[in-house]
Amino acid sequence: MNSAARNSLLKLFPGARTDVPFSTLTTMRVGGNAAVLAEPGNTGELQSLLYIIREHDLPSLIIGKGSNLVVSDRGFDGVVYRLGGDFKAIEFRGDTVIAGGGAGLAMLSRMAAERGFSGLEFAAGIPGTVGGAVVMNAGAHGEDISGITAEVHTVTLNGVTETVSGESVKWGYRHGIDDSRIISTTIFKIFNKSIDIILKKMDNNQNVRKDSQPTGFSAGSVFRNPEGGKAWQFIRDAGFSGFKMGGAVVSDKHANFILNTGNATAADVAGLIRAVQKGVREKFGIELIPEIRLIGEFEE
């Protein structure tokens, strides 16, 4: 990144940081450095940031909690940004909740439960943000974000604000709002229910997650489920449970998780992903599509 662009960013965002390791920004705890990390706190700041990105033709990457992201060990020589300030606000209004794109999804689920509102129980264990959840139609336990989304307020990469109804979004499996828009606010439909019933459902969901998924540093589910089966079953049956590459390992508990054992690199993770894809392709003729995002240059 050239010095003029960097200076413009640091002037606009005095709190912006430079050369920030992705190991501190992602749940997999791997990756090189972000040249600049900025955190716009409202729509005006976001629009100003997007203007600088366009003006200087800078590479840019929006992140939430970094829960489905692996960035190359070479880092990202551009602007990395996440939504802060007003974008983390959560407001309950009647039978809806208005949540900023930077709000934590698990926190939103807990806050709804504490107020006796149902609809978000499935999200209690999902570690991402509201914005990320709407972009990828996050889901668990047979439910997903599309089922409760009433309205989405967005900002395009050109800085234009737009509003779309939940019904108009072309939802799909792990697909929601296209990533050419930034989710500033989402309105979710919720409804009253006994707090005890809500908490019991959340506890059951959490127990299922605890029993079936590993703990440790990971990016969540690595692959989308292909037609005709579960990704973890194909990975297990291809013999990859416990398979290691450097400091990365396929979980014995759930084969669709790759764990950082403590000293993994992004190259280890990407290499393991490719090895699993190749093995499943050769054994079953199935092409596994990554659910996590791989950003940057990786050696084949």
Q: Cα dihedral sign for 138, 35, 294, 60?
A: positive
What are the b/e assignments for 153-181, b being 16+ CB within 10 Å?
Answer: bbbeeebeeeeeebeebebeebebbeeeb
Q: Among residues 218, 221, 236, 251, which one is catalytic?
A: 221
Q: Cα dihedral sign for 110, 113, 115, 118?
A: positive
Residues 194-247 have pLDDT tens digits of 999 999 999 999 999 899 999 999 999 999 999 989 999 999 999 999 999 999
Q: Which residues pair with 151 in a beta bridge?
A: 165, 187
Q: Say which residue the tokens 């599509």 belong to.
A: 289
Sites in the chain below the pLDDT cut of 70: none
Other C-beta atoms closer than 10 Å to the C-beta of 49 total 23
Q: Cα dihedral sign for 199, 200, 202, 206?
A: positive
Active site residue 227: no
> 256 near 235, Cβ under 8 Å?
yes
The Cα-based distances of 121 to 25, 209, 293 in angstroms read 26, 13, 26
Active site residue 23: no
Sheet containing 76-81: order of strands: 17-21, 33-38, 76-81, 60-62
Which residues are within 8 A (CB) of 92 and not within 5 positions of it... i.e. 6 or more apart?
98, 111, 112, 115, 117
Burial of 183 (0-12, 13-18, 19+ CB in 10 A): buried
Active site residue 146: no
Task: Give the chain's domains with CATH numbers.
Answer: 3-82 (3.30.43.10), 89-198 (3.30.465.10), 214-295 (3.90.78.10)
Query: What's the pLDDT score for residue 2?
Result: 83
Query: What's the pLDDT score for residue 12?
Result: 85
Phi, psi of 201 (to 5 degrees): -65, -40
The Cα-based distances of 224 to 103, 137, 173 in angstroms read 25, 12, 8
Query: What's the pLDDT score for residue 14?
Result: 85
The SS3 of residue 201 is helix
Instruction: State the Cα–Cα distance between residues 181 and 20, nearest whole angstrom.
Output: 25
Closest to 100 (Cα-Cα) out of 12, 198, 205, 183: 183
pTM for the complete prediction? 0.91
Query: What's the pLDDT score for residue 265?
Result: 98
Strands (E), the chain: 17-21, 33-38, 60-62, 69-71, 76-81, 90-93, 96-100, 117-118, 139-140, 143-144, 149-156, 161-165, 181-189, 191-192, 217-218, 244-245, 248-250, 258-260, 293-295
Q: Among residues 6, 174, 274, 293, which one is catalytic?
A: 174
Query: What's the pLDDT score for residue 111?
Result: 97
Query: What's the pLDDT score for residue 188?
Result: 98
* Structure tokens belonging to residue 43: 């729509």
